[in-house]
């Protein structure tokens, strides 16, 4: 009797795993590790989170993602011997300060973490930042900016800008050169890197930003059916890599919207784009038609489109800036298996067209999140490429 019972349980488990199995592309980096991690994240971040959203709403769903993320990243780690970590407040904003014990440069990096503006914290990036302190021998200041949906735009960019301005006034305390401040970030942090650098450049500060690095950045909020999003649906639909669904929900949160299921659904169909937006010259100038895949005939959600007009603010979507020509040297990194791939490439092209010194690096087998994936060869290569780029600005 016991033997049959356990056989039935085993068959049930195998059937369950078979039904929810989602194959990843054969050439995707770190495939075996990613398959295990993706499955675990899908069960928690998608299936369980879907249930929470159904019962309690999208904000509580985001809280579940924060808890899961904390479980992944919050294991206690002793920092390496070549640096010390402390907390400070710059411009009233908490920052995690990484100080090299053997200082090689008086430059400073302001790091802005990703997580859809909504889920991550500065300390989660400790191991990734260690490598930059070790190789470059400079201070790194990681910004603990306010998260949405509790604090939508412009809270995060205000925090990042205030940190940069305050750091320029604390150069003696930290022994840094205020003319050598670099801003760097990934994903939503890449967006904040682009927009913060744009804001500070437009304010004509005494000390301009030296360089900025954007790792698979969010560049605008009008591309939920562009080729890189359509590739997600075609090759690994439903996998717990960054999905158009998650990106749509976080974008709505950042814009101050509720992020409801119906809003997300309309955003995924680009129904936040109506004829008024389509007719704007800056929209048609910077968003390629092949990135839109609009309904035919167009069936816009005019209420959502009214809110989406806010997303054309260059401090949210830097692709819409009137000019980028005064920006400091830039590095843009993109990955082949990433829903943000095409907008990152679009921004790199725009930077070059406006005469900004731009280094674009593309990793065809990389995926969203590979930059800080432990043990990843592609992630290591990305960090080495960034170090090589930044060395000349140290």
Alpha carbon distance 274, 250 (integer Å): 21
Residues of the chain with CATH 3.40.50.1820: 83-220+324-391
pLDDT value of position 232: 95
Count of other CB atoms within 10 angstroms of residue 158: 19
Query: Residue ranges of the chain with pLDDT lower than 70?
Result: 1, 3-20, 296
| pTM of structure | 0.94
Q: Which pLDDT does position 18 carry in this prediction?
A: 52
pLDDT for 47:
85
pLDDT, residue 72, reads 81
Residues assigned a catalytic role: 187, 338, 368
By the 8 A CB rule, do 201 and 166 touch? no
Q: For residue 30, what are its two tokens?
A: 């770190």
Identify the pLDDT of residue 6: 63
CATH assignment of 83-220+324-391, given 3.40.50.150, 3.40.220.10, 3.30.70.100, 3.40.50.1820? 3.40.50.1820
């Amino acid at each position: 009797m016991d033997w049959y019972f356990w056989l039935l349980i085993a068959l049930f488990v195998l059937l369950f795993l078979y039904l929810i199995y989602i194959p990843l592309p054969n050439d995707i980096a770190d495939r075996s590790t990613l398959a295990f991690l993706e499955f675990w994240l899908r069960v928690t971040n998608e299936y369980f989170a879907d249930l929470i959203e159904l019962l309690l709403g999208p904000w509580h769903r985001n809280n579940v993602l924060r808890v899961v993320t904390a479980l992944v990243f919050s294991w206690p780690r002793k920092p390496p011997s070549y640096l010390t970590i402390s907390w400070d407040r710059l411009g009233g904003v908490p920052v995690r300060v990484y100080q090299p014990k053997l200082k090689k440069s008086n430059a400073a990096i302001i790091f802005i973490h990703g997580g859809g503006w909504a889920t991550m914290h500065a300390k989660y990036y400790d191991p990734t930042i260690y490598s930059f302190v070790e190789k470059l021998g400079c201070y790194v200041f990681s910004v603990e900016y306010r998260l949405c949906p509790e604090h939508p735009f412009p809270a995060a960019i205000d925090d990042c800008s205030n940190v940069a301005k305050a750091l320029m006034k604390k150069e003696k305390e930290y022994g840094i050169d205020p003319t050598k401040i670099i801003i760097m970030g990934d994903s939503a942090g890449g967006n904040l890197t682009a927009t913060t650098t744009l804001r500070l450049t437009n304010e004509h500060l005494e000390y301009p930003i030296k360089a900025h690095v954007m790792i698979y950045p969010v560049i605008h909020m009008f591309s939920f059916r562009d080729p890189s999003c359509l590739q997600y649906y075609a090759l690994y639909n439903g996998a717990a890599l960054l999905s158009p669904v998650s990106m749509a929900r976080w974008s709505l949160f950042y814009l101050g919207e509720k992020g409801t299921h119906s809003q997300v659904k309309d955003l995924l169909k680009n129904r936040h784009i109506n004829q008024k937006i389509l007719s704007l010259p800056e929209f048609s100038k910077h968003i390629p038609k092949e990135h839109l895949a609009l309904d035919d005939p167009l069936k816009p959600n005019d209420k959502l489109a009214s809110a989406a007009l806010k997303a054309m603010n260059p401090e949210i979507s830097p692709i819409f800036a009137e000019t980028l020509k005064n920006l400091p040297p830039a590095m843009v990194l993109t990955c082949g298996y990433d829903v943000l791939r095409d907008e990152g490439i679009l921004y790199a092209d725009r930077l070059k067209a406006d005469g900004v010194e731009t280094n674009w690096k593309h990793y065809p087998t990389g995926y969203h999140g590979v930059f800080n994936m432990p043990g990843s060869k592609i992630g290591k290569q990305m960090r080495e490429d960034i170090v090589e780029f930044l060395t000349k600005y140290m």
